[in-house]
């Protein structure tokens, strides 16, 4: 296990995210992501859309969104839609370390959100990466209880076993695969099931994908 703080890991993840964005072409910014109805630029807008909000502005957005996460997130994406890719990238760069809402829980929101959404972009674009084990291990554990992923609830009745990391969770029919794919499955990304195997895969797919 790493002795780095969560904030240190979040900063590392954001630096990697910026490196990814720096290398994207104009066409790639417009490509679909794993997030339904969101292009790559929309995902980036979502990730950075909380960085500049004061406490009052954050409350106002939550109220305007009816306290419903999908609506709240959509408001942020719409607000940042006019910004060019270069501006979104610069905002990400200036948000190392994260600030505002994403700095909560010692930077855990930025770490989890950044890792999952970076994969939402990388997977459709074929931009593979090797996620540092210390970051991935920290995010996997948090994703089990995070309100946004509810990993433990979604994977009840199966045992998740990473094939490339010393990590497992749960009881029941086994589902095995790369740790990153297990994370994305917990985050309800059907694309991840292409890399998973085991007798519990069908049960997990039905529960997550419907």
pLDDT of residue 210: 67
Q: How far apart are CA 127 and CA 210, in angstroms?
A: 28
At 203, list the tokens. Answer: 């049960």
pLDDT of residue 147: 81
Query: What is the value of pTM for the model shown?
Result: 0.93
pLDDT of residue 151: 82
Hey, what domains does the chain have and what are their CATH numbers?
Answer: 6-125 (no CATH), 133-209 (3.30.1050)
Q: Which residues of the chain have pLDDT under 50?
A: none
pLDDT of residue 135: 97
Q: Quick: pLDDT tens for 53-105.
A: 989 999 999 999 999 988 999 999 999 999 999 999 999 999 999 988 999 99
168: Cβ–Cβ under 8 A, 6 or more apart, which residues? 159, 160, 161, 162
Torsion of CA 72, 186, 20, 36, to 10 degrees: -50
């Amino acid at each position: 296990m790493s002795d780095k703080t969560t904030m240190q890991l979040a900063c590392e993840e954001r630096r990697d995210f910026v490196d990814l964005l720096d290398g994207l072409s104009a066409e790639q910014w417009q490509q679909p992501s794993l997030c339904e109805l969101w292009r790559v630029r929309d995902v980036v807008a979502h990730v950075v859309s909380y960085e500049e909000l004061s406490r009052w502005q954050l409350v106002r957005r939550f109220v305007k969104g009816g306290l419903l996460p999908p609506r709240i997130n959509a408001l942020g994406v719409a607000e940042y839609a006019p910004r060019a890719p270069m501006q979104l990238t610069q905002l990400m760069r200036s948000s190392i370390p994260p600030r505002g809402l994403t700095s909560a829980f010692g930077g855990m929101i930025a770490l989890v959100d950044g890792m999952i959404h970076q994969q939402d972009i990388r997977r459709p674009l074929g931009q593979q990466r090797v996620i540092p084990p210390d970051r991935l291990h920290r995010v996997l554990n948090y994703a089990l209880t995070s309100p946004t992923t509810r990993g433990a609830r979604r994977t009840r009745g199966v045992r998740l076993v990473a094939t490339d990391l010393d990590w497992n969770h749960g009881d029941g029919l086994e589902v095995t695969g790369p740790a990153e794919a297990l994370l994305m499955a917990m985050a309800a990304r059907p694309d991840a099931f292409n890399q998973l195997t085991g007798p519990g895969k069908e049960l997990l797919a039905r529960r997550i994908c419907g």
